[in-house]
Amino acid sequence: MSFFSQRVSRIQPSPTISITAKAKKLKQEGKKIIDFSAGEPDFDTPDNIKEAAIKAIQDGQTKYTPVNGTKELIEAIIKKFKRENDLVFESDEITVGCGGKQVIYNALVATIEKGDEIIIPAPFWVSYPDMALLVEGHPIVLDCTIENNFKINPQDLENKITNRTKWVILNSPSNPTGAFYSELELQNLAKILLKHPHVWVMCDDLYEHIIFDDLKFKNILQVDNKLKSRTFVVNGVSKAYAMTGWRLGYGAGPQELIKEISKIQSQSTTHTSSISQAAAIEALNNSDEFINKNKKIFQERRDLIFSKLKDCSSLQVFLPQGSFYVYVCCNELMGKKKDDGTEIKNDIDLSDYFLDEGVAVVPGEAFGCSNFFRISFATSNEDIIEGCDKIISVCKKLK
């Protein structure tokens, strides 16, 4: 009998984190790698945020804080929701954790019984299914096709709902596709959800501020407030303010859910760092300029990748409306052979081949949608040009 739990044997290490680590290792060994695998902005955290953190250290804000976050941070989060989303929350409806990741995980620990179902639209962020498995839940994958712009067909959603469904996860803009839901699309999903009052909605808004083409962000709660008693809105500072390493995410939802999450956190991590909390207040209150500047940079990079790859006949590129990822269909390359005669059987083989040739991408299988790969454009224009040229030339070599 294994010393280790059944629970942990059901899951895998995060594939995106391990590919980034592999690319880093190759770089350290002196190999030139263009890294298109990163899941974080390449910008540094802005100075005003760093200064707020330094001041917090100097002022002695170095002790335990309340489990759900300091009063000042909770106020800043409430103000953010009002200002940017026109959503009203009370302080007992807010939780703060070590990243959006922990906030989502806590919510699942708080609600999932063995065999409960969590509907996860695919392509999905890699951690949702594994988190569901860790808490002994049952991930129910809802395939979203490229023909439907990687978005949920409302009827397909309804077909997946059973009496064991606890959560539906919505992630717009999406990692890995950059798909973005319009107000009308969200209304159509809300109509289905309103018919099933036992189903809760986990609304992952981590990429809220990275959207293009002058789109205006709305989440499902903004579109239909009748879902408020069963929606958990998750957000964080990682992507919007280039603060991945600070580990701070937050969630807003019904007070009874927050109370249970708080219990779990009080017996596990207690809270995220007091210094990160001080930094997050500054980030939430004073970042408009930073956000607008980055949005423009990311949009230019998206357009650059699109213009480079659109002429590669063996690849089909899906134009993202948000996030910093491009999802690329490589169906036509399956079954082709490398110079040494080995066959490319799937997107994992293709990604390994790209890595051998000096470009790191993440295979689509990791996101529950095969014969695709994900390119992250959280990198410089020079790298984008060089990396895309490399991809095009190595694809051409496959026979």
Q: Between 101 and 302, whose beta carbon lies closer to ligand PLP? A: 101
Give the separation between CA 70 and CA 185, rounded to whole angstroms.
36
**Site track 282-321 with ligand PLP (rule: CB under 6 A), x = hit:** ----------------------------------------
Q: Which residue is nearest to ligand PLP (CB)?
A: 99
Binding residue for ligand PLP, selected from 80, 101, 166, 302, defined by CB under 6 A: 101
With contact defined as beta carbons under 8 Å apart, do 41 and 324 qualify? yes
Interactions with ligand PLP, residue window 33-72 (CB under 6 A): 39
Residue window 110-149: x/- pattern of binding to ligand PLP, with contact defined by CB under 6 A: ---------------x------------------------
Helices (H) and strands (E) in the chain, counts: 14, 13
**Separation between Cα atoms, residue 217 and residue 306, nearest integer Å:** 23
Nearest to 201 by CA among 158, 231, 160: 231
| Interface pick for ligand PLP out of 46, 69, 236, 368 (rule CB under 6 A) | 236
Residues 6+ apart with CB under 8 A from 147: none
The least distance separating ligand PLP from the CB of residue 29, rounded to whole angstroms, comes to: 26
Site string for ligand PLP, 243-272 (x = CB under 6 A): -x----x-----------------------
According to the binding rule CB under 6 A, does residue 238 interact with ligand PLP?
yes
- Distances from the Cα of 331 to the Cα of 40, 108, 175, angstroms: 27, 35, 20
**Binds ligand PLP by CB under 6 A, chosen from 68, 70, 175, 277:** 175
The residue from 20, 85, 165, 171 that contacts ligand PLP (CB under 6 A) is 171
Nearer to ligand PLP, 236 or 253 (CB): 236
124 and 364 in contact (C-beta within 8 Å)?
no
Would you say 74 and 262 are in contact if contact means Cβ atoms under 8 Å apart? no
Query: CB 129 → ligand PLP: shortest distance, Å?
Result: 13
Interface with ligand PLP: number of residues (CB under 6 A) = 13
**Residues 63, 281: Cα–Cα separation, whole Å:** 17
DSSP line for 337-383: B-TTS-B--SHHHHHHHHHHTTEE-EEGGGGT--SEEEEE--S-HHH
State the residues that interact with ligand PLP by CB under 6 A. 39, 99-101, 125, 171, 175, 204, 206, 236, 238, 244, 249
